[in-house]
Amino acid sequence: MNRLLITTLLLLFTNPLLHAERDSSTCCHLMLHGGAAYGLYRDMGTSPLTYRGIQAAPGISLSVENSQWSYEALLLTDAGAYGLKLGIDYIQSYGGHPLVGFGIWRNLYADSRWRMWLGGVVDDLFDIRYNRSLGNASAAFGNFARLHVDGRVEYRLSRWLLHARLQLNLLTLNYRPGFAYMDNFDQEISDPTANTFDQYRSYASLASSAHTDVGATYCLNNGNKVGVSYRWTYLTSRTTAAAPHLFESADHALLFHLGFALTDKKR
C-alpha cells in the first residue's frame, strides 16, 4: 500500500516536472526568501491572552513554470519572540514554525500582460511554542498537515511582475496537545520520547487557514529576479469542535525574494 502511494506521488509530482523541462518556455528558479513578520497567537490550553511578537522568516523554494503549469516546492520557517504586559507582569514566549510544501497550478488565462493560475498546495506546518514560566506546560507542539486551494493573478509591467495570491484551506489534519495540556506526562519513565506526546490528540478540520500575498518582482536580464511581497497568514481551530482547546495565530510578513534562474530561458 505504501509502495503504491509513493509511486503515485512520484508520478504525480515528477511527471509534470519532466514534461515541463521539455517545454521550450520552461523556466526554473531557486528562490531565497527572507523578511520579518508581526505575529500574534492565542492558545486557550494555557492562556486566554493573545501574545504578540516579532518573527524572522527565512525560506527557500524551487519553482518551475511553463506556459501551462507552475510548480513550487518550498521550505519556509519563521521563529520569533512574543510577549504581553499585564500590570506588573510581563509574559514572554518563543515560537518556531517550519513548513514544507508543494504546490501545482494550471494556467487559466494568459495574454501579453495578464496571467491567472489556479491550483492546489499540500503542506505540513510544525508549530513549536515555548514559555518557560509554564512548568510542565512550557513546551507545546502542533502539527498541521494541510490541503489548500490556491489562486494567483499576475500582471506584467515592463520588467516588473505584480502578483496577488489567495490560498484557502480545504482540509487540515491537526496534531495538538490533548485536554489536560501537559508536555511531561509521567510515562516518560518507560519511553521519554514517545510519552512527551502521549496525551496529544489528532483531529481533522475544514477551512482552518488562509494565506494571502501581494507583491512585485523585478526580472533581471540574466533571468534572475528580485522581489518584495506582503504576506498574511491565519490559522485557527475554530472551525472544528474536535479541538480540545482553541488555538489561532496570524502573522503579517514583509518578505524579500531573490530568484536564481536555473535554466537559460529568461522571463
Partner 1 sequence: MKYFYYIVLTIVVVCCAGCERALMTDDLPATAPTTFDYLWNKFDQQYSLFDVKGVDWDAVYDSLRPKVYGGMSADSLFAVCATMLGTLNDGHVNLYAGFDVSRADSLYYRFYSQGGIDVNTMVLNYLGMGYHSTGGMAHTALCDGRVLYIYYGSFSSAVSPSLFRRIIQSYPQLQGMVLDLRGNGGGSLSNVINILRLMPSHGQQLYSSQIKSGPAHDQFTPLVPTYAPDLSSDTTPFTKPVVVLIDRGCFSATSVFAICTQAYDNMLLMGDTTSGGLGLPTMGYLPNGWRYRMPVTRTEALDGKNYENGVPPDILLPFDRHLAQTEGRDNLIDSACSYILHHGIN
Binding mask 178-197 for partner 1 (x = CB under 8 A): xxxxx-xxxxxxx-------
Q: Is 134 in the site for partner 1 (CB under 8 A)?
A: yes
Q: Is 260 in the site for partner 1 (CB under 8 A)?
A: no
Q: Is 135 in the site for partner 1 (CB under 8 A)?
A: yes
Residue 119 and residue 124: Cα distance in Å, rounded? 17
Q: How many CA atoms lie within 13 A of 196 on its CB side?
A: 7
Pick between residue 17 and residue 116 the one whose CB is nearest to partner 1.
Answer: 116
Closest-CA residue to 176 (of 140, 207, 204): 140
Maximum Cα interatomic distance, the chain, rounded to a whole number of Å: 65
Q: Which of 136, 206, 242, 266 binds partner 1 (CB under 8 A)?
A: 136
Q: Which of 164, 171, 173, 228 binds partner 1 (CB under 8 A)?
A: 164
Q: What is the helix (H) or strand (E) element at residue 142, kind and residue range?
A: strand 139-157
Binding part of the chain for partner 1, among 70-78, 99-107, 219-227, 248-256 by CB under 8 A, reads 248-256
Q: Which of 49, 147, 226, 242 binds partner 1 (CB under 8 A)?
A: 49
Q: Is 21 in the site for partner 1 (CB under 8 A)?
A: no
Q: Which of 37, 76, 250, 261 binds partner 1 (CB under 8 A)?
A: 250
Q: Which of 30, 36, 50, 224 binds partner 1 (CB under 8 A)?
A: 50
Q: Is 242 in the site for partner 1 (CB under 8 A)?
A: no
Binding part of the chain for partner 1, among 10-18, 69-77, 106-114, 216-224 by CB under 8 A, reads 106-114
Q: Is 89 in the site for partner 1 (CB under 8 A)?
A: yes
Q: Is 22 in the site for partner 1 (CB under 8 A)?
A: no
Q: Is 202 in the site for partner 1 (CB under 8 A)?
A: no
The residue assigned the cell 503504491 is 4
Residue 126 and residue 207: Cα distance in Å, rounded? 18
Q: Is 42 in the site for partner 1 (CB under 8 A)?
A: yes
At residue 197, φ and ψ (nearest 5 deg) are -100, 10
Binding part of the chain for partner 1, among 20-28, 73-81, 83-91, 122-130 by CB under 8 A, reads 83-91
Cell (9 digits) for 34:
527572507
Q: Which of 19, 106, 159, 238 binds partner 1 (CB under 8 A)?
A: 238
Q: Is 156 in the site for partner 1 (CB under 8 A)?
A: no
Torsion, Cα 4 8 10 15, to 10 degrees, reads 150
Closest-CA residue to 198 (of 213, 189, 187, 210): 187
Q: Is 241 in the site for partner 1 (CB under 8 A)?
A: no
- As beta bridge partners, residue 201 has 176
The helix/strand count (H/E) of the chain reads as: 2, 14
Q: Is 45 in the site for partner 1 (CB under 8 A)?
A: yes
Distances (CA, A) of 135 to 24, 181, 182, 183, 184: 59, 11, 9, 9, 9
- We find the least distance from the C-beta atom of residue 61 to partner 1, in angstroms, to be 20
Helix/strand/coil for 48: coil
The residue type at 256: F
